[in-house]
Chains A and B, each alone.
Chain A
Amino acid sequence: MTGIKDNSLRKMIIAMLGLGVLAIFVTAFISGANAPQAKERGTAQRQDTSLDDSVAPLMAKLKDNPNDKEAVSNLAHIFTKSDNWEKAAPFWTKLVMMEPENIGSRYHYGFVLSQLNRFPEAMEQYEAILKTNPKELAAHYYMGMINKYGFKNLEVAKQHFQQALSGTLDDPALEAETKKELASMN
């Protein structure tokens, strides 16, 4: 191959490369020095291949059939698991509309809404759960939490925690947590 003969062009290209290397150095060792790297919180939002690889085909399935319950549910779970509440919420909304009697979906939706500080809407979900099954005492725990930390309405929160403990909660950890919350208010 005939090489580049124009010396000024050669030098320009070498200079470009040199600047590129310098930019990498500056980014890495000067700007990068401020980047958090040693410890990471469990809730930190990060990109990951599993999201890329699993969301795309599910979205494609939804494009084919917007009422594909399995795809909607999978997407809702995936975004919830990755703490991507904004993304998760629309899928839970859709799932709850598709399966209004599904208590599990309402629990998830309520939790996601409370993470988004949309407390009144979250309360509606837990109320709907109790309407479907008044024995779902766990709903009272979440309503208590929303009242305590969201609305700052301690009296109502206390009532909900007490109602949660009026029977036996399925999850012993949740029961212990409810007692702890209640105790901290006394």
Chain B
Amino acid sequence: MYIIAHGSLILALLTTIAGAGFACIEAWSGQDRTTPWLERAHLVSVLLMVLASSMLLRALVAHDFSLAYVAKFTDLSLPLTYTIAAFWAGQEGSLLFWALCMGLAVALFLYSRSYRELAPRTRQHFWLFYLPVQAFFLMLITYMSNPFAQTMVAPPDGQGLNPLLRNIGMALHPPLLFVGYALFTIPACLALASAFSGERKPWVEVTRNWLLPAWSLLTAGILLGGWWAYMELGWGGYWAWDPVENASLIPWFAATALVHTALLQRRFGVLPRTNVFLACLTLLLCIFATYLVRSGVVESLHAFGSGTVGRPLLLSILFGLALTLSVVTAIPRGDTPPLPELGSRQGAIVVCVWLLVALGAIVLLGTIWPVISQMWETKPVGLTQGFYNSVCLPLFTLLALLLAVAPWFGWRGGMERRWLTAIPVVVWLVALAVGLALGVRPVLAVAGVGAAAAVAATVIAQVILAPQVARTRGFWASHGSHLAFACIVMGVAVSGPFQKTLEVSLAPGEKVAFEGYEFRFDRLREFSTPEMKVQEAVVEVTRDGRSLGELKPQQRLYRNFDHPNSEVGILFSLGNELYSTIHDLNGDRAEPLKISINPMVNWVWIGSLGICLLPLLALRPRRANNVDANRN
């Protein structure tokens, strides 16, 4: 049966390659007659991918262990949610998922008014650039990373999903990232197509409703990964600047820069070449993220052996970069307006973009540092968290400060009420002075909290001073997102440096006092599910004699995995969140019970929710009365 699934993918690849070949021939001869055929070819290839994906999903749900992929990532006891999530648990499935999302998104785009309003030549060029991308992904999943490889003998049960991945955060984190990655294909290909055909309709306007969801999904995927690390790994933190984490953060910087420069082009027609470059760079960095994770190039942390897809991914990135640079440098300057002045909101956005580019470059270089340092080191090692924290966190703080100040500038320069600009500056200086006077250290944390407060002050002042503007969706899409970003900055600035941790060996009935709280290990509960055996420590928490609730950290022994995993116990709070794990159990004694007090950590997640959802308010329905620029 899986021959049909694999055959579907091969057929989809053939169809896509044929379409891409025709698109090249047509573009070479300056024709655009085959566009309807290219569209049909795409729809056929998407249907074939849907068929193959359905068969993989069916195999997962039916526990068909004759398929190596199913045997590797599921077992009979795995709950249905995680069984379905196993679709993207491995390399083969995740690449298929990416290709499928990309194909479906482009099929939707094909039926959109935005697409139909493009000039015929631009539509033809869109397929010229898009179909090779799809062909590349189909090549990977048909010949290099085949999800339909079968086992010699079907085992009676599978190996099961890694326990660390059995968390709703991890079930959703990869698909969000992959859908985000997939959606960035549309802006990138349309940017190239528009540059190629001289499309009069600005592509940044056409792809607005694709770029913003792509950005939101990528952001959600990254932040959900952080939340998973916090909830599942039990070390009390959420970001370790590890290559896998950095891999998705690098395209995020480019995408965030693009969201802002696209805004400038839409409103003022500036930076057209920069936008084409950033759109393509974002897509290439998404592929680079997969390359980092899959190739084992960063040996010190991800030496999983030589990846089957590493080399083709690297070649595709280099090829894409060469193609992008060729197109961008070939775009004539034309009558592009000059760059905005620094003392304007446009200028502030450009500075923000440069900060984002700098952050992206630092994280990129830091991540591949072990590879670069191989040139002079015999045993290259990755950079520590300390490096990233000391370089990136000040830049993030600066970014937040800029977000506080920028809204007071006029779009084309000047300030209507100059004294109002002092509001965020005063708020920041006061926060800094008070913090320092109270002896709060580190200074960077104080500066971060001050910057977050300054952004909040700016948004509140804007709401008061311009209530009509504040009632628009656009205001909350931009300023609301900035406020959400400030929440994250504040959460990070406080929860990291001011975290308090205690490790103590406790038996039932014993108690320990820590930072004004009293923790009493009440009892050890044991229970089983078909999936696992659980030992749960019930720890009562009181403060000043008042009960605050119970912490319930667990040790779980999953079926098919012979080492116990820690599950954190949490007492939620917007102030001090109490967080606990059991490292080991000796009889019924927790050895040790680890307790952390994480101040304001939930502001990171509140801000995360806001920053993912609020930009979607800027989505615009395509109205029928939109002027078709290509016909006028």
Does the CB pair B330–A13 fall under 8 Å?
Answer: yes
Known contacts A2-B198, A16-B326, A77-B563: A56-B203 contact under CB 8 Å: no
| A74: interface (CB < 8 Å) | yes
Does the CB pair B301–A59 fall under 8 Å?
Answer: yes
Does the CB pair B327–A4 fall under 8 Å?
Answer: yes
Cα-based distance from A84 to B162 in the complex (angstroms): 15
Cα-based distance from A17 to B17 in the complex (angstroms): 11
Cα-based distance from A30 to B14 in the complex (angstroms): 13
Cα-based distance from A14 to B21 in the complex (angstroms): 10
Q: Which of A61-69, A126-134, A149-157 contacts B (4 or more CB under 8 A)?
A: A61-69
Cβ-closest chain B residue relative to A28: B139
| A47: interface (CB < 8 Å) | yes
Does the CB pair A4–B198 fall under 8 Å?
Answer: yes
Does the CB pair A59–B242 fall under 8 Å?
Answer: yes
Cβ-closest chain B residue relative to A36: B149
Cα-based distance from A32 to B234 in the complex (angstroms): 43
Does the CB pair A2–B334 fall under 8 Å?
Answer: yes
Known contacts A27-B139, A81-B159: A42-B302 contact under CB 8 Å: no
Q: Which of B303-311, B355-363, B533-541 contacts A (4 or more CB under 8 A)?
A: B303-311
Does the CB pair A63–B73 fall under 8 Å?
Answer: no
> What is the distance, in angstroms, from A137's C-beta to the closest C-beta of chain B?
19
Known contacts A40-B68, A41-B152, A77-B562: A47-B308 contact under CB 8 Å: yes
| B450: interface (CB < 8 Å) | no
Does the CB pair B151–A4 fall under 8 Å?
Answer: no
Known contacts A4-B198, A21-B17, A69-B584: A84-B305 contact under CB 8 Å: yes
| B613: interface (CB < 8 Å) | no
| B235: interface (CB < 8 Å) | yes
Does the CB pair A40–B272 fall under 8 Å?
Answer: no
Residues of A within 8 A of B562 (CB): 77, 104
Does the CB pair A60–B197 fall under 8 Å?
Answer: no
| B143: interface (CB < 8 Å) | yes
Does the CB pair A56–B242 fall under 8 Å?
Answer: yes
Considering only residues 291-308 of chain B, those with a C-beta below 8 Å from chain A are: 293-294, 296, 301-305, 307-308
Known contacts A48-B89, A56-B243, A77-B563: A14-B330 contact under CB 8 Å: no
Cα-based distance from A1 to B330 in the complex (angstroms): 12
Interface size, A (range): 35 or more
Residues of A within 8 A of B475 (CB): none
Known contacts A56-B301, A63-B385: A17-B235 contact under CB 8 Å: no
Does the CB pair A47–B304 fall under 8 Å?
Answer: yes
Which residue in A46, A58, A64 is a CB contact (below 8 Å) of B91?
A46
Cβ-closest chain A residue relative to B133: A20
> What is the distance, in angstroms, from A49's C-beta to the closest C-beta of chain B?
5
| A45: interface (CB < 8 Å) | yes
Which residue in B28, B73, B385 is a CB contact (below 8 Å) of A11?
B28
Does the CB pair B143–A52 fall under 8 Å?
Answer: no
| B323: interface (CB < 8 Å) | yes
> What is the distance, in angstroms, from B339's C-beta to the closest C-beta of chain A?
17
Does the CB pair A87–B88 fall under 8 Å?
Answer: no
Which residue in A48, A56, A104 is a CB contact (below 8 Å) of B90?
A48
Cα-based distance from A68 to B585 in the complex (angstroms): 15
Cβ-closest chain B residue relative to A52: B293
Does the CB pair A57–B229 fall under 8 Å?
Answer: yes
Does the CB pair A87–B90 fall under 8 Å?
Answer: no
Does the CB pair B144–A35 fall under 8 Å?
Answer: yes
Cβ-closest chain A residue relative to B296: A47
Residues of B within 8 A of A49 (CB): 88-91, 94, 165, 174
Does the CB pair A84–B323 fall under 8 Å?
Answer: no
Main secondary structure of the interface of B (DSSP, over half): helix
| B511: interface (CB < 8 Å) | no
Residues of B within 8 A of A70 (CB): 234, 566, 583-584
Which residue in A5, A20, A56 is a CB contact (below 8 Å) of B332?
A5
| A120: interface (CB < 8 Å) | no
Which residue in A21, A24, A42, A55 is a CB contact (below 8 Å) of B155?
A42
Residues of B within 8 A of A64 (CB): 235, 240, 385
> What is the distance, in angstroms, from B583's C-beta to the closest C-beta of chain A?
6
| B135: interface (CB < 8 Å) | yes
| B24: interface (CB < 8 Å) | yes
Cα-based distance from A41 to B24 in the complex (angstroms): 41
Known contacts A48-B89, A52-B304: A40-B150 contact under CB 8 Å: yes
Does the CB pair B323–A35 fall under 8 Å?
Answer: no
Cα-based distance from A25 to B331 in the complex (angstroms): 30
Known contacts A56-B301, A74-B563: A3-B195 contact under CB 8 Å: yes
> What is the distance, in angstroms, from B20's C-beta to the closest C-beta of chain A?
4
| A173: interface (CB < 8 Å) | no
Considering only residues 128-157 of chain B, those with a C-beta below 8 Å from chain A are: 128-129, 131-132, 135-136, 138-139, 142-146, 149-152, 155
| Contact code string B307-318 (vs A, CB < 8 Å = 1, else 0) | 111001000000
| Contact code string B177-208 (vs A, CB < 8 Å = 1, else 0) | 00000000000000000111111101100000
Which residue in A10, A38, A61 is a CB contact (below 8 Å) of B150?
A38
Does the CB pair A60–B240 fall under 8 Å?
Answer: yes
Known contacts A24-B17, A48-B73: A37-B149 contact under CB 8 Å: yes
Which residue in B146, B301, B566 is a CB contact (below 8 Å) of A37?
B146
Cα-based distance from A83 to B20 in the complex (angstroms): 40
Residues of A within 8 A of B327 (CB): 4, 13
Does the CB pair A39–B149 fall under 8 Å?
Answer: yes
> What is the distance, in angstroms, from B595's C-beta to the closest C-beta of chain A?
16
> What is the distance, in angstroms, from A131's C-beta to the closest C-beta of chain B?
23
Does the CB pair A53–B170 fall under 8 Å?
Answer: yes
Q: Which residues of A contact B (CB under 8 A)?
A: 1-6, 9-18, 20-21, 24-25, 27-28, 31-32, 35, 37-42, 44-61, 63-64, 69-70, 73-74, 77-78, 81-82, 84, 87, 104
The 4 A-B residue pairs with the shortest CB-CB distance, nearest first, are A3-B198, A32-B143, A60-B240, A2-B334
Interchain residue pairs with CB less than 8 A apart (17)? A1-B203, A2-B335, A9-B326, A9-B330, A17-B128, A20-B323, A21-B131, A21-B135, A24-B136, A25-B17, A27-B139, A27-B312, A37-B6, A41-B151, A54-B164, A57-B235, A81-B561
